[in-house]
Structure 1
Amino acid sequence: MQKAEESLEDWADRVLTLATPAFRNLPEKHCMQEAISKFCHGCVDREAGNHACFERPRAMQEAVDLVRHHQYVTQAVDGNRKSKYAVNAVSDEDDRMSRLEKMVERLTSTVQSFSQRKTFSQPRSPGSPLLCFRCGEEGHFKRDCTQPQKTTTKNWGKSGDGRSPLNSNGQMASANPDRPKK
């Protein structure tokens, strides 16, 4: 970012000085394009920098000339009005440290509140009994059932208990799906 009292030439020199080691592994043409782009986008006069960038200068001096020309034309049109430049202020180290400490405190309190919560959940809705799908009795699940299995695939529908499965058509499923129904 161009400093408030830095001339365009000094800013261009600083950009080129920083760009040379930063883009040393790239072709020289690409390095120059990147440096010119950084120069234009980092100008204190944003409007002039954007104007110069849109013109796609091929050399740094051409970019400097485009920025100067835009500033000259703008001053000629607008008169001697002083442009207002906004400069981003960098916060003090102490200010940054205090913000970091506050964020750590908030994070710590959040973690503590999560650890103090009771983390049990009810696996079923209250009031519904535990039913075994094998024997039908309350108090245990099928995996814990000690009763022998009542029905097998051979006698589905013959047990007389009314729990015969249906196929996808809503008809009784037969033990042998290849056998036609009578």
Structure 2
Amino acid sequence: MENYIKIIEEYRKTQNNNLLTVFACKSNNEKQPEELRDQNYWPRVRLIKTLWENYTAADKPLLKWLIKEEVKAQQECMMPVYALDIAAYMLYKYMDLSDVFDLFFAKFASSNEFYLDIELVFGYNRVETKQYLQTEGANQPYAKDILKTIEGYEDALSQGAIYKDRDAYMKYFEERKIKILFNELENAKAFYIE
């Protein structure tokens, strides 16, 4: 764990992606889908768990890199979504409105739309995020897609859907969901051999 802390601290100073090479998604290139594995998945999980213990807004570049690698691991190697969920939440906690694009990517770039919570895409709140997507963020790729997605989820409110506001969601994640995710990661070790 001490090495992971050193890597995190050095990355905070330099943002040198060469420090992260040993954590990048690396397929074992098996032909059978059930045999596909990301050879760096567990080291990356340990990095994410170490970061969870002490992360700040300064870690956003690292979190965005981790999110991309986790999505790649799911797309190419069918790895579990639990570490991605943790990395996405850490970005959400310290997000700027412009980070909604990375959170949308985390939720929808792979098979995560049913697992990662939509509150991540709502950002600070749905109204503020929609306003941003219609003004400052309007020219960004996927701005219209994110806007339609939020509006679609809002339509579900009339059918009884309930969403947590930012404070309630953060409380839920930090007091309840993180324990479930850590437990799921431990259970996954039996199937996705470390």
**TM-score range relative to shorter protein:** under 0.3
Q: TM-score, normalised by structure 2?
A: 0.21
Between the two structures, name the one with larger relative contact order (CA 8 Å, sep ≥ 6).
2
Structure with more of its chain in helix, by fraction: 2
Which one has the largest radius of gyration?
Answer: 1
